[in-house]
Chain A
Amino acid sequence: MTVVAAPVPEVRARPAVVPGLGNRFLQRYGTLLILLALCLVFTIIGPWRTTRDACNLWQQVTSLSLVKNGQLCAPVFASQVNILNLVRQVSVIGIVALGEMLVILTGGIDLGVGSIVGFAGVVAATLQRDNAGLLPSVLVPLLLGGATGLVVGTVVTKGNVPPFVATLGVLAGLQGATLVFTNAQPITGLKDDFRTIGTGYVGDIPLPIVIYAVAIVATAVLLGRTSFGRGIYAIGGNESAARLSGIRVDLFKTLVFVISGLGAALGALILTARLNSGQPNSGQGYELDAIASVVIGGTSLSGGRGTVLGTLSGALLIGVLSNGLVLMNVSPYYQPIIKGAIIVGAVLLDQLGRRRRT
């Protein structure tokens, strides 16, 4: 046969090769923008005060001066104390949410993290009470969290049990185990060195915030700079394509549950140290806050799409909301309602953005 290279015609014109840069920007940084806006709102409409007493902001504005009785009026929300306190509170859920995000990126879900927080917490407290020393009190709970993840991952990948079901089992089982273990009584008697995990400082920064920051950087590096992280995105994006590309799908899916369990246990250590006791009901409902942080942060529940920055913003958003509402004397009973609306609203916005894109 004669060999004739066919002329290469121009490729069909693709409409808008860069589809809606604005939308992509919103998708990436939307949560962060909402977070900043919320901070601004709470700064302005939240309470202002001098070091001694509250200011009436309106009076100050009309008198064109922020000075009252010779002292400066400042927003309570934006004060250093409040911000550090807020982030320290967020750090526990924030760390749990990082692990949760990895699971969700593969297209799975981990409902067990809250119960792991509870269980790991009382184990740590018990070890402390029984004078086991700092290192075992830290390592054993971490090991338990990781082992739980290993079991879940194995059941999911080898047993073909949906992650929802496997981790629902962990949610119920470990909650019960915590109650049995503690007889539903708080465990006290923590030593000072362990308590430092929750109460210590590095310079001016509370230790939990430092730990959270390290976890954020580590997760970002893992997702962005390792082949494991690339595999996580690939599995969530298209599992069969990932498998056919030689990605170790089962191993990676198991590992994300291990990391999620480790994250939950790490959160438990901070929480227990801050509470100065192992509370049998601590951690309950954390799985929902963690999932909410991840989802508000723009991670797709079907996997393959999501960023550390988003999850950080999501966790902070929930924290800022609680903090701001408390400062404004809103009854805490309203908080879940507002949180619920924000979760649905965030995902709705994300979906609308995506529809416009395609």
Chain B
Amino acid sequence: MDQSAPPALVEIRGMTKAFPGVQALLGVDLDLRAGEVHAVVGENGAGKSTLMKIVAGVYRPDSGSIRLGGVPILNESPRQALERGISMIHQELNLAPNLSVAENVFLGRAPTRGGLIDWRRLYADVEALADRLGIDLDVRARVDELSVARQQMVEIAKALSLDARVIIMDEPTSALTERETEALFDIIARLKSHGVAVVYISHRLDEIFRVADRVTVLRDGRLVGTLLIAQATQPQLIGMMVGRELTTLFPKESVEIGDPVLEVRHLRRKGALEDISFVLRRHEILGLAGLVGAGRTELVRILFGADQLDGGEILLEGRPVRIRSPRDAIRLGMGFVTEDRKLQGLVLGMNVRENETLASLAQVSRLGFLNLGRERTLAARLVDQLGVRTPSVEQEVANLSGGNQQKVVIAKWLATRARILILDEPTRGIDVGAKAEVHALMSRLASQGVSILMISSELPEILGMSDRILVMRQGRLSGEFTRDQASQEAILACAA
């Protein structure tokens, strides 16, 4: 690394943080210099956001130190970080939507005169800030009337009003158009010239090469390295990001792929999906890769009838079908394991039995009256079949571990005897052992003739489990790979 470097504004040393079941960070070192744009890259789960949330006072580290201007600090809260000049602009913006731009910038700190807000000075101050950023901002406009890009500028102005010396941007361009992205880059250049250290977290490598001075690569919570952007190449970064051996083994059995079961033609949803066509076959596990926000969840929600399509066709076994509700989808033999099992998959106040049979009540009832004995038998059989670790089927699911909860969600769709199973991030947030069991189960189901459409942001999982892989980018299909053609590098290049 270059020797002539100016002293670091922020020095992070040995940063370590564990969440239940995951080592999010392990001994990461990072320097931020005044007036530089420092990109932080890595796969999902590499620890980028965790590291920056520690710097911004959102999380507390297990061990490690941060020095700001040579002085050791520990940010106990986001507020304390702000007071020290460290601002983080999160992916989900933190603005009060029904207040004006000016009020948001000086939220809780508006200049007052005689106890009342001094509006004239407030507006003048915010306009001055906008000038410094070189942007044209209507300071009186209500924030919810602004575009996302504009709202982001309000956040940046807010950071600047707090005399921020470090501004952390987490995926700032994920919701921006190309033009808006350009505008953001101009603002970043201005921030640099004011001596602000900008941390730029992004998946989009081409952007990083345009805007960053240095880049740090994280992988599995560890530091891989920090490079001057002028000396780095894109393939080199991708190699550093994914360069792990497949340590987990995936038990995908190879089976004879059957006939098409589900066919999607030119599917479209305004603002989310454009011209999606693909085929899912019997016995097949079809992986759906892509970055967060590429439209994968939007796509499967339409297939399952949770959202409606604006155009295109869905065919089941060759017949065009209209799926207006999840109920329709279930009747057509589909099952959907959602991304977030607590928000959408489980009824946490219910027990294992009630959750498992929730989608197949007709099977265990007659004329609307439940046969509790039959229900208990079915539930117990599913618990057995999936190896759900629970003292009994009467246990509330809220008391099960993440992996066992996920098995209960899957059991719900085994109970309906779903022929098409949509799995959205099926192993997110569950421990390694349960993960392997879920993978084994997927494989077994596929060999029994179930067709599986699996969304995953973990490339090793996609590569290990899929017979075929589709890649999505910005609402479109951007690539298709067979199991043999696929590699992490190829998929990442297609997705980014």
Partner of A244, one of B326, B399, B464: B326
Tell whether, in the assembled complex, residue A304 and residue B347 are in contact, meaning their CB atoms are under 8 Å apart.
Answer: yes
Q: Is the CB of B399 within 8 A of A14?
A: yes
User: Chain B residue with minimal CB distance to A250?
Assistant: B325
B248 pairs with A230, CB closer than 8 A: no
**Distance (Å) between the CB of A24 and the closest chain B CB?**
10
Binds A, one of B50-58, B208-216, B226-234, B427-435: B427-435
Q: In the bound complex, do residue B250 and residue A241 qualify as a contact, i.e. CB atoms below 8 Å apart?
A: no
User: Is the CB–CB distance between B252 and A1 below 8 Å?
Assistant: yes
A246 touches B436 (CB 8 A): no
Q: What is the chain B residue whose CB lies nearest that of A2?
A: B249
Cβ of A11 and Cβ of B389 under 8 Å apart?
A: yes
Map CB proximity to B onto A242-266 as digits: 1 under 8 Å, 0 otherwise: 1111111000000000000000000
Contact with B along A1-39 (1 / 0, CB 8 A): 111111011111010011100000000000000000000
A131-144 to B contact mask, C-beta < 8 Å, 1/0: 00000000000000
Are B253 and A3 in contact, with the CB atoms below 8 A? yes
Q: Which of A226, A227, A238 contacts B346 (CB 8 A)?
A: A238
| Chain A residues near B401 (CB-CB < 8 A) | 11-12, 14
Interface centre among A11, A226, A244 (most CB of B within 10 A): A244
How many of chain A's residues have a CB under 8 angstroms from any CB in B? 36
The range of chain B's interface size is 35 or more
- What CA separation (Å) do A237 and B355 show in the bound complex? 11
Contact present for B354 and A230 (CB under 8 Å) = yes
Q: Tell whether A226 pairs with B365 under 8 Å between CB atoms, given A245-B358, A245-B412, A246-B326.
A: yes
Provide the residues of chain B in CB contact with A227, threshold 8 Å. 361-362, 365, 368-370
Give bound CA distance, A2 to B246, whole Å. Answer: 12
Assuming the A-B contacts A3-B252, A6-B436, are A17 and B399 also in contact, with contact meaning beta carbons closer than 8 angstroms in the complex? yes
A228 at the B interface (CB under 8 A): yes
Inter-subunit contact B326/A1 (CB<8 Å):
no
Known A4-B249, A304-B349; judge A12-B304 contact (CB<8 A): no
Does A234 sit at the interface, judged by CB under 8 A? yes
**A3–B346 CB distance below 8 A:** no
Given contacts A8-B387, A242-B347, A242-B358, 9 further A-B contacts (CB under 8 A): A3-B249, A17-B395, A226-B370, A234-B354, A238-B344, A245-B326, A247-B327, A304-B347, A304-B349
Write the residues of chain B forming the contact surface with A, with a CB cutoff of 8 angstroms.
21, 248-253, 304, 306, 325-327, 329-331, 336, 338, 343-350, 354, 358-359, 361-362, 365, 368-370, 372, 387, 389, 391, 395, 399-401, 403-404, 412, 431-434, 436-437, 440, 464
Interface residues of A (CB under 8 A from B): 1-6, 8-12, 14, 17-19, 225-228, 230-231, 233-234, 237-238, 240-248, 304-305
